[in-house]
Structure 1
């Protein structure tokens, strides 16, 4: 039947599909994920005759050798063929054209996010003639200019991995700095906010190409698998379920973005036409391990047991007598269990019985009585105090509540060990119990329609000490990541891919006192308004943590995060090949919400309250301040954190143009919008930590309320607006306003990121590549900013006090009630005396202008070498720390010298930082052939910024002067000058099927089929700052513990010896402490930020396998793995606080662990 136009209706099917699905794709991209980032590969090439002329209309067939699934296309008028959205794996290629002999390209491998190029020359002949040629599986990247290395199945499965965590292999990619200076990274086991990190694993949370650790993104099969607060994965992939992965960075493709660092894209295994799988168990035990370097001689290494076991299986779906899925339907499943038990051996410094009685005679400098503080009659504007004779605090001044607090929490002190600065040992055992599983289904309906679905989940439970042996911690994390992808091929030149993913995790934690001796809170004398108020949600009041600077600490805490990570991702990409152009258009939206009821309180003690106000060389004793009940700071949280729907929307357009036979040009544009989740929900109205909160705008000096609550006289409790005498109820204080839109954070709509790149094949085995582009960090703003203002005025859910009891008069704030009336039922009269984690309400997304240029050369069919110059210039980086401090140092009340004298200094985040990164990167890589594979990655780099290595100054990179951030320019906290990673896999050439066969069965059984593997890594030491942390020496209103006050540099810290006689570089004298001096009062120190370096690091992990053949396709492996094979000791960062004389310049621990052995058994079929 024909229609009115005389054509068969079926012929219009393609056009109708395009007309229908193109707007659908556009719609999906407006409600879809942060990137439309895929986990597939692509293949292109040009078909020519021997003269070099192109051959059009050649039939090209790409065949997966494991599933026999084929894709077919035809070369266009320029002789070019293209295969897009190809699943990574092994393939063959067949090319036919009239009048030419057919050509067959032998098996080669396509990797994740790889764009491979295979040009083919056909010779004249008949169809019956077939010419077979070899293709390198390590094809030169002749079509793209992105940076990254595919870590293949062989490396993932066989390289030594402590705890079987794939992140240890991220360091194999050039530009990856395997160090963590970030606020969070999940390395604590419970992870925090839903990152279930196995404690026995050597987890890495790296900085990539000069960007902060928190600016990376994690994908599994191209789908979001991202822990939104932790900035790492939500569900860890099982090693035996990983096919390969790649770290994508500095790419010329607009498809990738939303982070400044790298996108870690893991591809999981799928089933094939043959059944295949594995079963394994790995065992670790303290009997196998070397003795820890800093364990006291009279202590035994803690008992330790770790078991990791599981199985995987995949193949065609088969239903007896009903269905067999060969060539069509495949499945893959995997399970892994993890059991961990270790007797703790944490070194603690705790108060002794003599010290608790007031005897501090062992303290190295004079301690002063804060209750005698008075103006110095001889020095106007300064103050004096009376010393405690012999550093003995009289009993009538000791706060008995503080002593009761200490006795309830701290263990009894033993002999002091100067090598570890400790006098107690916490031996509370740690237990971790994890079960993880994943399942994947792939369905190929027909050559034009395919779909896959994967579900991954983990349940993790952790118990250990709560920081002190008198406290117990329990954490539970259930995490889920699932989703799928649909591919429709309209024609060989037009296709649509749509994806959906769901990521959800909880993080439920509790730290409680194991034995509460009666009415402890009453005995201590804490105000009920300070420690109470938790009962409704958390089942009772909580014992605060005593934060005595330099001493062990711990307190009770409750956190139940029903939405530690809660995101939906939906995306679509439409790709069209036309002539020499491959055009891609797509986008998506990834939602983000967060919920975390949280309760704890803490009182901090520093030395400034008992030091000499006129002599910084007598900084005082934090323990003396504690005994006197004179705090320096306090923190109280009783909040029900909730955010509404937010997320990241992204669009991109990309054109890959084959401009000439040797030249490919890539150009694209990406547009990202971060929708910062509005804080609070309507369900939290009237609750502490709810929607009725506020934020400071230091551009105007105003306090902005998100949703205004009723007057206190009406509601009767916070959050509420305090009554102002003589004013109508509900009148706002001066300089307090209400946001008319009911939101505090304002989105940025100008994040356009252009991309450009080229790849030019100079000759057959050499490619010159270059790329440039602009990328934005969208996820840091989403995950961090929204939840920082919980409980702010007019609420009392989050109260923070700093610089309590400053040395300008007798102490006025007791430890038992550090917030006074503010922690009762009502908020303070105004919001301007609170300390919170505020941020600029018009904060912008950080962005980075990135470029790279390099040469890649193929040495032979299996080996390539590449060198690249990699650089970036970053702007609008997040800079935190205290703000509205005094404009200049000096005597007197610092508030009188502040930008806004009516506002107390507080934390404040601004997008004003700058950063630069320059690197030379080198990679030599041989794919696995002939029983050998190796890879050498080396990076020589410099990363510089201005205290912008983290958020709110919590990562040790604070500004000295917030009004002169350029004065804090220095090496980034993650800067590593040299980074080297070498890995190798080598089959010893003895045994059946190897180079030297052993005909004797017994000898072959003993001597044959051995394999050795290893990872060697070396890198420069991490930078650190030398600071004065006893008190606010410059008297600007800043917090001393924030490392803002740097020491004076008066000599060479890298030569000579310390006053104790030890040479520089030793454990007790890592640097020359005489080279530093305490700055004069009311001044800033002159030493630079991060100009010192900790010890360089090097390590060798190695493994030995013995393989036993069971059948042709089955074998058993015994594995022995050694981590830190040579048991080297790398010093951790030395004490860098010049006011802490006991530790200054000394090393009290190791940056690495002692040698550990892991044994494994594995069945492979």
Structure 2
């Protein structure tokens, strides 16, 4: 009765709010069981076994010989079919791919059920159930190709229509803007709609496989303009497996730059290290996988600025510029007239505010009038990231997994002046081009459970929480700007009362941070999505028409076999940077 009310509620939601849909984020396996003449074999028991974990799922064929397994972890499976009057069939090496529906028809041979036909290798399975064009990058490819910074997103360029311009992090898919793609990790979005940032990128060793949806992407995915990056993370298995790794770069291993000045080579040190571990907790039932990756990076960089010379700091501008005494201002014929300091040397005390600002400039490192200060320091980038995932099954009817990911990156670029002041132009060598000390934290929690009520009724419930924060700070003062610098009128009710304001001087390096430096960006949006799938279905394999409609916040996708996928997505601004997503998919099959 409760299930019937849920079905009615979902249908009512479609009627009231418009078309609704959900994106396929795992893998599906479907097909027909036939005899040698091509006739359907009804009520044939089918067992699906995941090769790495030995987890079992079972169903029976419909009156037309159809079977369906939904929401599968990507990987290799074995299909076992037993039917009276036919030999048992074991089909091994069936590979399902994230985001795809694989069609596999099985033909039984006459004989006793004590006899078994085993198929160990066969032609690759054709994905012909949907018209969208995907490129799948397997975990073996991810692990085999060397990647600087070990970011899997660089492999997106293996898909046609995808470009990753030099110096950028987010790809362009089919000419779309980099910040308008969707990123889905284990079925949960990791994208912040504004400003189009990804909360984090998974550790390379945590990626089981991923697909790039670049052409004819189904409307039910939503929230994208270019394409969809759909990632499946690794899970544990019945085997204990792990790894340790470290990648090292050091200036002692580098040749000297031909144009570098004499002396010690600039520091260039990058250590990227980590470990993975996967193991069974309960054999054939409960599995664990975890990983960690850390980055410690220091890259030497020299910045050159123009600051006041030693004579200018003393008020001596002889031969540089004419300096007039503001205290001698008179009005002559409607114009302000001032007397020039003798010899262009300021012979009166400087204003206290000017002295406070002048004291923040360092002493020049050479006697030139321009480019007279050089500072060499290290761009610093420290990262820590880890994942923990638990997979398990309770009997053959319940399968679930949960994952938690934590990511933290602290970046400190070299500033032109020691107090943190100065304009940082261009991308820093060692960091991500941030304008100052930046602390980014990303987190995601995912929980997913699939329950098989009967061979005709399956429910999947998934929930996720994604959060990203970014705090950037700059040079500060011992008190408010008005009190510390002696400049009245500066507001004291701002978010950063003790921050050094920005002062620009013609011909000199600025005091204060780069523009838009001081900020605190907790999450910019709260996303709450719910989706369900209700498909009382009567299979029809001769027509493959598909209808997709999209309205403001809802979309619907319907197939000729009776499949309806519904999705409601809502973004609500909030002061905290987080996304919450709840997915509920109910699958019913009526023969």
TM-score class, shorter-chain normalisation, is 0.7 to 0.9
For residue 493 of structure 1, the aligned residue among 456, 464, 476 is: 456
482, 485, 491: which one aligns with 1:533:
491
Pairing partner for 1:509 from 463, 466, 472: 472
Q: What is the Cα deviation at residue 213 of structure 1?
A: 1.0
Contact 1:535 1:541 (8 Å CA) reproduced: no
Kindly tell me: are residues 117 and 519 of structure 1, through their superposed partners in 2, closer, same or farther at Cα, counting changes over 3 Å? Answer: closer
Separation of aligned partners in 2, 1:22 and 1:491: 16
What CA distance in whole angstroms lies between the structure 1 residues aligned with 2:510 and 2:447? 47
Q: Which residue of 2 aligns with 1:344?
A: 301
The answer to whether 1:332 aligns with 2:289 is yes
SS state at 1:149 partner? strand
Q: Aligned residue for 1:307?
A: 271
Is the partner of 1:576 in helix, strand or coil?
coil
Task: Kindly report which structure 2 residues correspond to 1:681-1080, keeping only aligned pairs within 5 A, or say none.
Answer: none
**Displacement, 1:566?**
5.8
1:563 aligns with 2:522: yes
Q: Which residue of 1 aligns with 2:440?
A: 477
CA contact 1:486–1:497 (8 Å) conserved in 2: yes
Pairing partner for 1:432 from 381, 386, 399? 381
Q: Over residues 783-823 of structure 1, what are the superposed CA-to-partner deviations in whole Å (9 max), with x where a residue is unaligned?
A: 99x9xxxxxxxxxxxxxxxxxxxxxxxxxxxxxxxxxxxxx
Question: 2:283 matched to 1:279?
Answer: no
Counterpart of 2:150 in 1: which secondary structure? coil
Q: Give the match for residue 666 of structure 1.
A: 546
Structure 1 contact 409–471 (Cα < 8 Å) conserved: no
Instruction: Verify the 8 A CA contact 1:217 1:231 in the aligned structure 2.
Output: no
Alignment of 1:189-338 (within 5 A): 204-289=169-254, 296=260, 298=262, 301-317=265-281, 325-338=282-295
Which structure carries more relative contact order (alpha carbon 8 Å, separation 6+)?
Answer: 2
Distance 1:491 1:229, change over 3 A: same
Distance change (3 Å), C-alpha of 1:544 and 1:129: same
Aligned equivalent of 1:455:
404
**Whole-angstrom CA distance in 1 between matches of 2:200 and 2:13:** 26
CA distance in 2, matches of 1:137, 1:489: 30
Gaps of 5+ in 2: 322-343, 422-435, 561-566, 578-591
User: Does the 8 Å contact 1:497/1:572 carry over to 2?
Assistant: no
Note if contact 1:302-1:343 (Cα within 8 Å) is conserved in structure 2. Answer: yes
- Structure 1 residue 465 and structure 2 residue 388: aligned? no
**TM superposition shift of 1:88:** 1.0
Name the CA shift for 1:236/1:755 in 2 (closer, same or farther; >3 Å).
same
Contact kept in structure 2, 1:58 and 1:97, CA below 8 Å = yes
TM (norm. structure 2) is 0.75
Counterpart-to-counterpart distance in 2, 1:754 and 1:574: 10
- Which among 22, 26, 43 is matched to residue 7 of structure 2? 22
C-alpha deviation, 1:777, in angstroms: 12
Cα distance change, pair 112–541 in 1 and its aligned pair in 2 (3 A): closer
| Residue 67 to residue 494, structure 1, CA distance change in 2 (3 Å) | same
In the superposition, relative to structure 1, how do residues 350 and 146 fare at CA in structure 2: closer, same or farther (>3 Å)? Answer: farther
Describe the shift of the 1:252–1:212 C-alpha distance in structure 2 as closer, same or farther (beyond 3 A).
closer
Shift in CA distance, 545/70, structure 1 to aligned 2, threshold 3 Å = farther
Change (3 A) 1:75 1:214: same
Q: What secondary structure sits across from 1:169 in the alignment?
A: helix
Following the alignment from structure 2 to structure 1, what is the Cα–Cα distance between the partners of residues 26 and 568? 23
Q: Is the 8 A contact 2:503 2:510 kept in 1?
A: no
Distance in 1 separating the partners of 2:534 and 2:568: 24
Q: Which residue of 1 aligns with 2:37?
A: 51
Name the CA distance, whole Å, in 2 between partners of 1:269 and 1:89.
10
- Partner Cα separation in structure 2 for residue 227 and residue 48 of structure 1: 47
Q: Retained in 2: the 8 A contact 1:220–1:265?
A: yes
Between the aligned partners of 2:556 and 2:320, the Cα distance in structure 1 is 64
Report if the CA contact (8 A) 1:149-1:173 is conserved: yes
Distance change in 2, residues 1:405/1:550 (3 Å)? closer
CA contact (8 A) 1:497 1:574 kept: no
Superposition deviation, residue 217 in structure 1: 2.1
Cα distance, 1:454–1:671 mapped onto 2, change above 3 Å: farther
Asked if 2 retains the 8 angstrom alpha-carbon contact of 1:499 and 1:570, the reply is no
Displacement of 1:120: 2.5
Contact 1:270 1:314 in 2 (8 A): yes
Change (3 A) 1:251 1:123: same
Residue 113 (structure 1) shift: 0.6
| Residues 111-130 of structure 1 mapped to structure 2, 5 A cutoff | 111-130=97-116
> What is the aligned partner in structure 2 of residue 612 from structure 1?
none
Count, aligned residues: 521
* CA displacement 1:130-159 (0-9 Å, x = unmatched): 222245584322112223222211122221
Does the aligned pair in 2 maintain the 1:38–1:223 contact within 8 Å? no
Tell me the residue number matched to 1:1160: none
Distance in structure 2 (CA, Å) of the matches to 1:289 and 1:35: 54
Write the distance in 2 (CA, Å) between the matches of 1:523 and 1:233: 39
Residues 81, 520 of structure 1: alpha-carbon distance in 2 compared, 3 angstrom cutoff = closer
RMSD, matched Cα: 4.4
Once the 2 structures are TM-superposed, how far is the Cα of residue 40 of structure 1 from its aligned partner? 1.0
Aligned to 2:153, what secondary structure does the other structure show? helix
Q: Deviations over 1:395-428 (max 9, x none)?
A: 99xx999999688458847699xxxx98765422
Q: Deviations over 1:442-501 (max 9, x none)?
A: 231232222221111123333333454441743323332112112222233332222211
Q: Any idea what the Cα deviations from partners look like across 1:500-537, whole Å, max 9, x if unmatched?
A: 111223322211069x9x99989998x633xx224664
Please list every run of 5 or more consecutive structure 1 residues that lacks an aligned counterpart in the other structure: 1-15, 181-201, 318-324, 362-393, 582-657, 674-751, 759-774, 787-1165
Superposed CA deviations along residues 695-748 of structure 1, whole A, max 9, x for unmatched, are: xxxxxxxxxxxxxxxxxxxxxxxxxxxxxxxxxxxxxxxxxxxxxxxxxxxxxx
Deviation at 1:36, TM superposition (A): 4.6
1:651-693 deviations in whole A, cap 9, x for unaligned? xxxxxxx335xxx3333334443xxxxxxxxxxxxxxxxxxxx
Could you tell me whether the CA contact under 8 Å between 1:451 and 1:486 is conserved in 2? yes
Tell me the secondary structure at the aligned position of residue 93 of structure 2. strand
Separation (CA, whole Å) in 1 of partners of 2:146 and 2:27 = 27
Q: What is the CA–CA distance in structure 1 between the aligned matches of 2:530 and 2:257, rounded to whole Å?
A: 49
Partner of 2:25: 39
Deviation at 1:757? 9.5
Q: For the Cα contact (< 8 Å) 1:341–1:429, is it kept in 2?
A: yes
Q: CA deviation at 1:214?
A: 1.1
Deviation (angstroms), 1:20: 4.5
1:252–1:236 CA distance, 2 compared to 1 (3 A)? closer
Out of 128, 147, 150, the position equivalent to 1:161 is 147
Alpha-carbon separation, structure 2, partners of 1:580 and 1:555 = 64
| SS of match in other structure, 1:465 | coil
Residue 228 of structure 1, CA deviation = 4.6
Q: Distance in 1 between matches of 2:508 and 2:108?
A: 75
In the TM superposition, residue 296 of structure 1 has moved relative to its aligned partner by 4.4
Query: Which residue is 2:66 aligned to?
Result: 80
Q: Distance in 2 between matches of 1:282 and 1:177?
A: 27
